[in-house]
Structures are given as structure tokens and as C-alpha cells.
């Protein structure tokens, strides 16, 4: 915070809206507690002044009159304002009633994307999940990155250590199913992607984008290849086949630590560039050239995201990306893919090896889906809510999630949420999902909370840390207190249980750990933490115990909350560094390139390969810089102008159906149908149509006036909850068979 003049003050913050974590300068009018302006923080060494229109509208979001500030409790069928004490009493009573009759397994927990951008959930989510005592746990991860967790977990033993493309130093970036010009990057925290992209040609680096749409990123690439949705796995297998056939495999430094190369050679042996050409829509010569370019680059990275993960073979695709990075010696090499070293984590530089990673420790009740990371597939949530019997979901806790817009076959989920016995939502709006709730606990605005990007610094291309104090005070309890009270109420400790019970327990455990690990003095630690809030204490303990931490004086000059507070623009400790083989946590202490779970899953890939290309149109999604999943359509300046919720159609497909730009069409899938406006564009691959997700507002009972006036249609009415990537439980959101006809 810097004093500007008597009437305004500038706070330096990290934008909580996407994974890019841009530094913001938030100018506040002191007298009226209003945000005047949000700019990029030019002195932030990581984001270098970059921001996008969403970050610039953080003030509008904070001041949005529809954003909830008071708890709502359902009385006589109507959601009405209540005090916090009344709301927690309703929570304790409601859950108590359902647990008594149906047991704790009848509680479904649904965790949404914004939880990953907040500090409190990083500490309180675990205890809350344990208090729930249910295995019915669902999150946005199974409509997103679960395949990457499975591959990281099985191949190098750490499901949270993602391979991050080192875009500032790479010579060759092969990008599949990602559009960072709109999304600003995912599983790659690299603020100012446009600026970093601009720097690539200056050092002779090349970008190749593989995408069924010529996206905003493809537009700026050296080369763009159209690919049939859902077929990346075959194409990547053909690249691997070429590397083997042309003797281009060169694992390099990590060679002694890689098991399973021969199995991979056999698996891909008949996936030749010719054999996959029709299936993928990419000719054999192009594929061979791509394989040679990849192998020939001084340092290259293969990177796949949403379009590579939320498909039928999402895990196999993520696996093939890892295979190519390893086979070309680009795994854990500067300019290749590397793992991050977040300041708040301990780094074990000892011997490779560990406990490994397991999936399927238990199975879901209805579909028999294996748990993955302790979760069941989002696509199976409706099954578990609608299928009667012991363990049927009768109550739900949704935390920053809008499954009725974000999960596959959303119409079915809408009905299922409407039929629950009890539902508590922790959210900022009454929207398509929370309108069904019996209690809504309003989350404080992001500007009312302290911030440190614990989650996304684990995917960052640099080791960076920044702590922001709240800009505004909240009228109600802070987020840590809400989580603590909620946890205690669910645990059965009653609505009035003192939240400091839980705070003290968590802080005590964190201190115990530090004392034990580093032989530190407990009294000294407690004295130094004095005066901090419970949340700040837990963060400080994490930072000071991290690999760059000051260990409460034992490592002078190290990182602490106090030190971060002295650097309001953040502290940058450099790019990613080599961490393997020490970071290997498989039981063997090696890369298990042919992990059995992945090899077994190859049978599905094989079956589709043998069956050949299916006929008909396929639907994919689309992100826009001014949207954020399903919840940022209530900010007027972000939805101004012409509707973005249109169906992109290739000119030939449009002609064949008598469609022109502006005409309306009916689009139909196995599970649902929608009517939507058409935009004819040669940016689409022939045979592929694209509709953005997260729209479809104005549902009766929701209270988002701006969004209602810019409603759009909900694309997940069309996505099919019966088709999943079984190896990870991930939903399939791209490559949906559809029929399109003039409305
Ligand atoms: N068809 C299709 N579907 C998709 C995708 C796709 O590409 N295509 N993408 C998928 C992906 S990657 C994801 S991550 C999921 C996201 O799925 P979800 O996480 O379920 O949904 P979001 O749309 O992010 O909704 C976030 C919810 O949190 C609330 N919220 C916003 N800010 C806060 C806050 O500060 N605190 C609290 N407590 N609540 C808040 C919002 O009001 C909203 O209800 O959607 C998935 N769905
Ligand atoms: N502005 C904005 N930013 C966001 C979000 C947002 O909603 N809006 N959401 C945030 C979230 S939760 C996430 S997870 C990230 C996602 O970040 P990204 O992964 O970059 O997501 P998208 O922009 O959806 O890009 C996916 C691309 O995959 C392409 N695609 C679809 N199917 C296939 C396929 O089968 N193969 C290939 N090769 N490509 C395919 C699509 O055409 C699209 O261009 O973005 C985050 N940032
Ligand atoms: S790119 Fe935009 S939304 Fe993402 S962190 Fe930066 S300002 Fe926020
Ligand atoms: Mo996501």
C-alpha cells in the first residue's frame, strides 16, 4: 500500500481471476471506500504491468450490487436475508437432520474453480472435507486437469508436480488444445503471455499450435495445424512412432532413470503418420516434419491443455505429451518442460524414490468409478444424486461451484439439485446452482481477503512470491472464520462452536511440524507469530518453513511474511531449475513411462484407432478474454457489445445446412438440444462447430440482473455425462457428436 494523496490510495494486489496471477495496482478513493481504477502493476517483476479486461474490472466486481453480502436462508420456499448466526444454525440443523436419517455418505461435496485462487481454502479445505466424512467428493478438476494429475502421479510419482512449459527459454513450443491468448495460460502460470509470445521470435523460437479452430493463439503461431477433435492422442502417438522409426529418440541426462521405453515403442508401433492421417485430418508428411522439428530443436516443450484433457482419451493424450517430452530429452531441461519450485514448499533434494501414487483405492456407488485424487467424476454426480439406495446423495455443499452450468448434462443436474433434501452454498451470487440452495453463505470479496497464490505458484515458470493485505475490511466474518464455523457445524460441534478451536489446532500442528523438522524453538515461533490473523499465521509458517524460508531466524535473510510485506510488488527468485531425478517419487525411483494403469487404458485408444474416423459434426468449446467460466457475466463492461455466445460453423458446413451468419440453428446431441445464433467462419475446421461454455443465465430464481440481460445458452446441455475419460474420470467437453439444422 502506498500513500498517493489525501483522497486516494494505491494497493498492490494479485489478480485472483485466472492462473496468470497478474500484479495489479488498485487505486481506491479513501473517503468512499471505492475502487477508482485498476491498472497493471508495472513494478511487478513477474507480470511486468500486464493485465486483461477482467482484472481491470475487479472494482466493478467488488461493487456489483448483485454480489451477496448477507447470508440467505430459505424460509417458506423463499431465500431471505439472515444473520450469520441464523445461517449457521440453519446449516447445523439441516445437515444434522439429513445425517441422522441417511448418514454422512448422503452428503455430496462439490468444490469449484475459485477455491484455488483463495488463501483460506488452502488451509481449511482439508479439515472441512474430513469433517464431512463422505466419499462423495466432486470438483472442477474432473472437468479440467485430472488427466494431468494421473500422468504426473503414475509416471514420476507426484500428482501435483505438473510439467510446465518453460516458455521464456524454449526454442520450440508444440501446443495442443490451449488458447492462452484468451485464457492467459493454464497449468502454466506465466503472466503476460502475449508479451512472452512476442519475445519468442527474437530468439528464433517457434510456436506450433494444434487446434480444430484457428484460435487467437494459432493466429500468432509460426504454424497452425487443424486437428479433428479428440484425436490428439493418435497424432502424438504417430510423432512418437516417427521418433522411434527415424532413431530420433534421445533421452539424455535422465536416461538411466527411465523405465518402459520399449513398451511405448511397441504400443505406438503401427500408429504411423499414414495410419492416423485420416483420423486426425493431418497429412503424414506434416506429421513427420513435426516429429523432426521437435527432435531437432535445442530445447522444446510439448504442452496440452483443455482441448487435450477434456476429451475421451484425455489421460492417454497427457501421457503421450509426457512421453514425447521424455523421449526428446526435454523433460526437466531449461526451455523444455520443468517443475516449479514454489517458495512456500519444502524441496527434498535427496534420493529419488517414494511412496508412488495410487488410483482406485475405493469405487463409486453407482458407476463403480475408481476414486482419483480422492474424487469421483463430475460427470457421475447426477447418477449419485438420482439413483435411490443407501448412500444416495440427499444433501450438498457447493463451494464456489456452479455445476448446473459447468458439468456435463447440466439439465439433468439442474433437476437433481432441485430435488435435494438440503443444500448449502458458499458463493457470491444467487445463480443457476445456488438458487436451489437452502442456505447461501456469502464469500467475502477477493479485495476483502489477504492473498498469496499458493496454488498457482506450484505451476509458475518462475519462483515468485507476493503477499497482499486486504484492501477493504469485510462487514462479516473473514473467509477463514467462515470455513472454520462451517467445518465445526458439519462436524456436529454445533452452530455456535468457537472457530478459534479449529484455528488453534491447525496452527499448533503446523508449528509441531516445523519444530520437529528443523529443531526450532516453539516459544520463539509463537512469539514471532503474535499479532497475525489465524490465516496469516498459517501462511507465515508455510513460507518460513519453505525451501527459501527464514526458519524463524535459523536461515537469516530468508522468506517470511514480514519480508514479503516489505516488497509489495513481489519477490522473484528466478526461473525453474532442474529437479530430477531427485524429485522422482515413484516406488522404483524411476520414471514409470509404461505405468500399468496407462498401458491398460491404451486398449480404448486402440479400439478407436481400429474403428477409424466417425462421420458427422463434432462440437468443441471456446473461451473469450472477457469471460471467466460461468460467473463473470454480471459485470456490464465485460458483456457489452454483440453477443459472444454464438455457434461458429465452417462455411462448407453452413452451406450444406442453409445457414448464414446471424441465422438461428438448432444443435442437438444425445442428451439435449439448444437454439443458438450462427457465425460462419473459416477459422473452424470443416466438420467442427464451436460454442463457448458458462452462458445460459436468467433462470427463474437467480439474481444476476446484468447476466440475465445477456443470457446466452448453456453449452453443457449438450455435453454427455455417459462418456468419460475412464482412466482419470474426466468429463468430455470437446468432441461431442452433434447435429445442426436450421431452426
Ligand atoms: N463445456 C465446457 N464446460 C466446462 C469447461 C469447458 O471448457 N467447456 N471448462 C471446465 C473448467 S476448466 C472448469 S475449471 C469448470 C469450472 O466449474 P465451476 O468451478 O463449477 O464453475 P465456475 O463457473 O468457475 O463458477 C464458480 C462459482 O463460484 C462463485 N464464485 C466466484 N467467485 C467466488 C469467490 O470469491 N468465492 C466463492 N465462494 N465463490 C465464488 C461463482 O458465483 C460461481 O458460482 O468448468 C468446466 N466446464
Ligand atoms: N478468459 C478466460 N480465461 C480463462 C478461463 C475462462 O473461462 N475465460 N478459464 C480458466 C480455466 S478454469 C482454465 S482451465 C483455463 C483453460 O485454458 P486453455 O486450456 O488455454 O483453454 P481454452 O481457451 O478453452 O483453449 C482450449 C483450446 O482447445 C481447442 N480444442 C478443443 N478441442 C480440441 C481437441 O480435441 N484437440 C485440440 N488440439 N484442441 C482442441 C479449442 O479450440 C481451444 O482453442 O483457462 C482459464 N482462463
Ligand atoms: S490475465 Fe486478466 S484475469 Fe488473468 S490474472 Fe491477469 S488480469 Fe487477472
Ligand atoms: Mo479450469
Ligand 2 atom closest to residue 629's alpha carbon, by position in its atom list: 7
Nearest ligand, CA of residue 20?
3
Mean pLDDT along residues 255-271: 98
Protein residue closest via CA to atom 32 of ligand 2:
307
- Sign of the dihedral through C-alpha 4, 7, 9, 15: negative
pLDDT at 557 exceeding the cut of 80: yes
Nearest ligand, CA of residue 113?
1
Query: What band does 613 get if pLDDT is binned at 50, 70 and 90?
Result: confident
The answer to whether 328 and 163 have CB atoms below 8 angstroms apart is no
Q: CB of 403 closer than 6 A to ligand 1?
A: yes
Residue 685: helix, strand or coil by DSSP?
A: coil
Helix locations, 184-259, DSSP H: 193-202, 216-219, 232-245
Q: Which of 15, 111, 176, 179 to probe ligand 2 with, by most ligand atoms within 8 A of CB?
A: 179
Helix locations, 229-283, DSSP H: 232-245, 261-267, 273-280
Nearest ligand, CA of residue 112?
1
pLDDT in tens, 397-434: 999 999 999 999 999 999 999 999 999 999 999 999 99
User: What is the distance between the alpha carbons of residues 465 and 546, in angstroms, rounded to a whole number?
Assistant: 12
DSSP 614-670: PPSEEEE----TT--TTS-TTSHHHH-SS----EEE-HHHHHHHT--TT-EEEEE-S
pLDDT at 5 exceeding the cut of 80: no
Backbone angles phi, psi at 49, to 5 degrees: 90, -5
pLDDT at 375 exceeding the cut of 60: yes
C-alpha 407 – ligand 1 centre gap (Å): 9
Q: CB under 8 Å to 607, separation ≥6 — which residues? A: none
Q: Which of 113, 177, 311, 481 to probe ligand 1 with, by most ligand atoms within 8 A of CB?
A: 113
Q: CB of 631 closer than 6 A to ligand 1?
A: yes
For the packed helices 232-245 and 273-280, what is the interaxial angle rounded to 10 degrees?
160
Q: In the CATH scheme, what architecture does the domain 165-338+593-603 have?
A: 3-Layer(aba) Sandwich (3.40)
**What spatial distance separates the first Cα and last Cα of the chain, rounded to whole Å?**
55
Q: CB of 18 closer than 6 A to ligand 2?
A: yes
C-alpha 184 – ligand 2 centre gap (Å): 10
Ligand 1 atom closest to residue 445's alpha carbon, by position in its atom list: 35
Query: Does domain 615-742 fall into CATH 2.40.40.20?
Result: yes
Nearest ligand, CA of residue 186?
2
CA–chain centroid gap for 433, Å, is 19
pLDDT at 1 exceeding the cut of 60: no
Backbone angles phi, psi at 29, to 5 degrees: -85, 115
Query: What band does 474 get if pLDDT is binned at 50, 70 and 90?
Result: very high
pLDDT at 2 exceeding the cut of 90: no
Ligand 1 atom closest to residue 434's alpha carbon, by position in its atom list: 44
Torsion of CA 542, 544, 547, 553, to 10 degrees: -160
Residue 54: helix, strand or coil by DSSP?
A: helix
User: What is the distance between the alpha carbons of residues 331 and 252, in angstroms, rounded to a whole number?
Assistant: 9
* Strands 462-465 vs 571-575: parallel, antiparallel or unpaired: antiparallel
Q: CB of 51 closer than 6 A to ligand 3?
A: yes
Q: CB of 580 closer than 6 A to ligand 1?
A: no
Q: CB of 143 closer than 6 A to ligand 1?
A: yes
Protein residue closest via CA to atom 45 of ligand 2:
183
pLDDT in tens, 34-83: 999 999 999 999 999 999 999 999 999 999 999 999 999 999 999 999 99
Q: What number of other Cβ atoms are within 10 A of residue 148's Cβ?
A: 29
Q: CB of 432 closer than 6 A to ligand 1?
A: no
Ligand 2 atom closest to residue 311's alpha carbon, by position in its atom list: 35
User: What is the distance between the alpha carbons of residues 281 and 685, in angstroms, rounded to a whole number?
Assistant: 9
Q: CB of 405 closer than 6 A to ligand 3?
A: no
Q: CB of 22 closer than 6 A to ligand 3?
A: yes
Nearest ligand, CA of residue 308?
2
C-alpha 409 – ligand 1 centre gap (Å): 15
Protein residue closest via CA to atom 8 of ligand 2:
628
Q: CB of 158 closer than 6 A to ligand 2?
A: no
Portion of the chain with pLDDT greater than 70, in percent: 99
Q: What is the pLDDT of residue 514?
A: 95
C-alpha 178 – ligand 2 centre gap (Å): 5
Torsion of CA 645, 184, 124, 373, to 10 degrees: 80
C-alpha 21 – ligand 3 centre gap (Å): 6
The answer to whether 267 and 214 have CB atoms below 8 angstroms apart is no
Ligand 2 atom closest to residue 180's alpha carbon, by position in its atom list: 20
Q: CB under 8 Å to 372, separation ≥6 — which residues? A: 142, 146, 149, 150, 359, 360, 728, 729
For the packed helices 273-280 and 284-296, what is the interaxial angle rounded to 10 degrees?
110
Ramachandran bin of 231, using left for φ above 0, alpha for ψ from -120 to 50, beta for the remaining angles:
alpha
Mean of all residue pLDDT scores within the chain = 97
Q: CB of 64 closer than 6 A to ligand 1?
A: no
The answer to whether 450 and 13 have CB atoms below 8 angstroms apart is no
Q: Which of 44, 60, 114, 184 to probe ligand 3 with, by most ligand atoms within 8 A of CB?
A: 184
C-alpha 183 – ligand 2 centre gap (Å): 6
Backbone angles phi, psi at 394, to 5 degrees: -115, -15
* Strands 422-427 vs 439-442: parallel, antiparallel or unpaired: parallel
C-alpha 554 – ligand 4 centre gap (Å): 39
Residue 82: helix, strand or coil by DSSP?
A: coil
The answer to whether 625 and 215 have CB atoms below 8 angstroms apart is no
Q: What is the pLDDT of residue 4?
A: 64
What distances in angstroms separate CA 412 from CA 379, 386, 714, one per listed residue?
11, 9, 13
> What pTM was computed for the model?
0.98
- Nearest of 689, 693, 609 to residue 654 by alpha carbon: 689
User: What is the distance between the alpha carbons of residues 674 and 716, in angstroms, rounded to a whole number?
Assistant: 10
What distances in angstroms separate CA 700 from CA 165, 705, 708, 710, one per listed residue?
44, 11, 10, 15
pLDDT at 559 exceeding the cut of 70: yes
DSSP 134-176: -S-EEEGGGGTTHHHHHHHHHHHS-TT---EE-TTT-SEEEEE
Q: What is the pLDDT of residue 564?
A: 98
Nearest ligand, CA of residue 16?
3
- Nearest of 381, 378, 356 to residue 366 by alpha carbon: 381
User: What is the distance between the alpha carbons of residues 71 and 342, in angstroms, rounded to a whole number?
Assistant: 36
Q: Which of 47, 55, 59, 62 to probe ligand 3 with, by most ligand atoms within 8 A of CB?
A: 55
Backbone angles phi, psi at 573, to 5 degrees: -110, 30
Q: Which of 116, 621, 630 to probe ligand 1 with, by most ligand atoms within 8 A of CB?
A: 630
Q: CB of 408 closer than 6 A to ligand 1?
A: no
Burial of residue 285, with CB atoms counted within 10 A of its CB: 0-12 exposed, 13-18 middle, 19 or more buried: exposed
- Nearest of 580, 542, 586, 591 to residue 348 by alpha carbon: 580
- Nearest of 471, 456, 465, 468 to residue 570 by alpha carbon: 465
C-alpha 631 – ligand 1 centre gap (Å): 7
Q: What is the pLDDT of residue 368?
A: 98
User: Which residues share a beta bridge with 591?
Assistant: 258
Portion of the chain with pLDDT greater than 90, in percent: 98
User: What is the distance between the alpha carbons of residues 233 and 324, in angstroms, rounded to a whole number?
Assistant: 12
Q: CB of 114 closer than 6 A to ligand 1?
A: yes
Q: CB under 8 Å to 642, separation ≥6 — which residues? A: none
C-alpha 673 – ligand 4 centre gap (Å): 24
The answer to whether 152 and 729 have CB atoms below 8 angstroms apart is no
Residue ranges of domains in the chain: 165-338+593-603, 615-742
Nearest ligand, CA of residue 187?
2
Q: What is the pLDDT of residue 3?
A: 54
Q: CB of 446 closer than 6 A to ligand 1?
A: yes
Burial of residue 165, with CB atoms counted within 10 A of its CB: 0-12 exposed, 13-18 middle, 19 or more buried: buried
C-alpha 9 – ligand 2 centre gap (Å): 36
User: Sheet harboring 172-176: ordered strands across?
Assistant: 223-225, 206-210, 172-176, 300-304
Protein residue closest via CA to atom 6 of ligand 3:
22
User: What is the distance between the alpha carbons of residues 282 and 613, in angstroms, rounded to a whole number?
Assistant: 13
Mean pLDDT along residues 344-359: 94
Q: What is the pLDDT of residue 614?
A: 83
Q: CB under 8 Å to 627, separation ≥6 — which residues? A: 633, 638, 644, 692, 694
C-alpha 224 – ligand 1 centre gap (Å): 29
Amino acid at each position: 500500500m502506498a500513500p498517493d494523496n489525501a483522497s486516494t490510495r494505491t494497493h498492490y494486489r494479485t489478480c485472483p481471476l485466472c492462473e496468470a496471477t497478474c500484479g495489479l495496482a488498485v487505486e481506491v478513493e479513501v473517503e468512499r471506500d471505492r475502487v477508482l481504477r485498476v491498472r497493471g502493476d508495472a513494478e511487478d517483476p513477474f507480470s511486468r504491468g500486464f493485465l486483461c479486461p477482467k482484472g481491470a474490472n475487479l472494482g466493478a466486481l467488488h461493487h456489483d450490487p448483485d454480489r451477496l453480502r448477507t447470508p440467505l436462508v430459505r424460509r417458506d420456499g423463499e431465500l431471505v436475508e439472515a444473520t450469520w448466526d441464523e445461517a449457521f444454525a440453519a446449516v447445523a440443523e439441516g445437515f444434522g437432520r439429513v445425517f441422522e436419517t441417511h448418514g454422512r455418505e448422503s452428503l455430496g461435496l462439490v468444490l469449484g474453480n475459485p477455491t484455488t485462487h483463495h488463501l483460506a481454502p488452502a488451509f481449511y479445505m482439508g479439515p472441512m472435507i474430513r469433517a464431512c466424512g463422505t466419499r462423495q467428493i466432486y470438483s472442477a478438476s474432473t472437468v479440467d486437469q485430472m488427466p494431468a494429475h494421473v500422468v504426473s502421479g503414475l509416471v514420476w510419482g507426484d500428482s501435483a508436480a505438473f510439467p510446465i512449459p518453460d516458455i521464456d527459454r524454449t526454442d520450440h513450443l508444440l501446443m495442443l488444445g490451449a488458447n492462452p491468448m484468451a485464457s492467459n495460460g493454464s497449468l502454466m502460470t506465466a503472466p503476460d503471455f502475449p508479451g512472452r509470445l512476442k519475445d519468442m521470435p527474437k530468439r528464433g523460437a517457434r510456436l506450433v499450435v494444434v487446434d480444430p479452430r484457428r484460435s487467437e493463439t494459432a493466429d500468432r503461431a509460426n504454424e497452425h495445424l487443424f486437428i479433428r477433435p479428440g484425436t490428439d492422442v493418435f497424432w502424438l502417438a504417430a510423432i512418437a512412432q516417427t521418433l522411434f522409426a527415424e532413431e530420433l529418440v534421445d533421452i539424455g541426462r535422465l536416461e538411466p532413470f527411465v523405465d518402459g521405453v520399449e513398451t511405448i515403442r511397441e504400443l505406438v508401433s503401427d500408429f504411423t503418420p499414414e495410419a492416423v492421417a485420416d483420423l486426425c485430418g493431418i497429412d503424414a508428411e506434416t506429421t513427420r516434419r513435426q516429429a523432426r522439428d521437435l527432435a531437432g530443436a535445442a530445447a522444446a516443450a510439448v504442452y496440452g491443455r483443455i482441448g487435450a484433457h477434456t476429451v475421451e482419451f484425455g489421460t492417454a493424450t497427457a501421457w503421450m505429451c509426457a512421453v514425447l517430452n521424455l523421449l526428446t530429452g526435454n523433460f526437466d531441461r531449461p526451455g523444455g518442460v520443468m517443475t516449479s519450485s514454489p517458495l512456500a514448499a519444502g524441496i527434498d533434494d535427496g534420493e529419488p524414490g517414494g511412496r508412488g501414487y495410487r488410483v482406485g483405492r475405493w469405487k463409486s456407488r453407482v458407476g463403480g468409478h475408481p476414486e482419483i485424487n480422492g474424487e469421483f467424476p463430475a460427470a457421475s454426480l447426477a447418477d449419485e444424486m438420482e439413483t435411490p439406495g443407501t448412500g444416495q446423495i440427499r444433501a450438498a455443499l457447493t463451494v464456489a461451484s456452479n455445476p448446473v452450468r459447468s458439468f456435463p448434462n447440466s439439465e439433468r443436474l439442474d433437476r437433481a439439485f432441485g430435488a435435494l433434501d438440503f443444500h448449502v452454498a458458499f458463493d457470491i451470487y444467487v445463480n443457476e446452482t445456488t438458487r436451489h440452495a437452502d442456505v447461501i453463505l456469502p464469500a467475502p470479496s477477493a479485495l476483502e481477503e489477504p492473498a498469496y497464490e499458493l496454488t498457482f505458484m506450484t505451476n509458475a515458470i518462475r519462483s515468485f512470491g507476493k503477499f497482499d493485505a486486504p484492501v477493504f475490511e469485510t462487514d462479516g466474518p473473514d473467509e477463514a472464520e467462515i470455513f472454520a464455523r462451517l467445518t465445526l457445524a458439519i462436524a456436529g460441534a454445533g452452530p455456535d462452536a468457537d472457530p478459534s478451536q479449529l484455528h488453534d489446532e491447525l496452527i499448533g500442528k503446523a508449528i509441531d511440524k516445523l519444530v520437529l523438522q528443523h529443531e526450532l524453538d516453539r516459544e520463539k515461533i509463537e512469539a514471532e507469530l503474535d499479532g497475525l490473523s489465524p490465516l496469516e499465521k498459517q501462511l507465515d509458517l508455510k513460507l518460513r518453513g519453505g525451501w527459501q524460508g527464514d526458519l524463524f531466524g535459523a536461515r537469516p535473510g530468508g522468506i517470511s511474511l514480514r519480508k514479503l510485506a516489505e516488497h509489495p510488488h513481489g519477490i522473484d527468485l528466478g526461473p525453474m531449475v532442474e529437479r530430477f531425478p531427485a524429485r522422482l517419487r515413484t516406488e522404483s525411483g524411476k520414471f514409470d513411462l509404461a505405468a500399468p494403469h496407462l498401458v491398460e487404458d491404451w486398449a480404448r485408444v486402440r479400439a478407436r484407432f481400429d474403428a477409424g474416423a466417425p462421420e458427422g459434426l463434432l462440437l468443441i468449446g471456446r473461451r473469450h478474454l472477457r469471460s471467466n467460466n460461468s460467473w463473470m457475466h454480471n459485470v456490464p463492461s465485460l458483456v457489452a457489445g454483440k453477443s459472444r455466445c454464438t455457434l461458429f460453423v465452417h462455411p462448407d458446413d453452413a452451406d450444406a445446412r442453409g445457414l448464414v451468419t446471424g441465422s438461428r440453428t438448432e444443435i442437438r446431441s444425445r442428451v439435449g438440444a439448444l437454439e443458438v445464433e450462427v457465425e460462419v467462419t473459416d477459422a473452424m475446421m470443416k466438420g467442427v462447430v464451436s460454442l463457448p461454455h458458462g452462458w445460459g443465465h436468467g433462470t427463474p430464481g437467480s439474481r444476476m440482473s446484468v447476466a440475465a440481460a445477456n443470457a446466452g445458452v448453456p453449452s453443457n446441455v449438450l455435453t454427455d455425462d455417459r462418456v468419460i475419460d475412464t482412466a482419470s474420470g474426466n468429463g468430455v467437453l470437446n468432441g461431442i457428436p452433434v447435429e445442426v439444422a436450421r431452426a
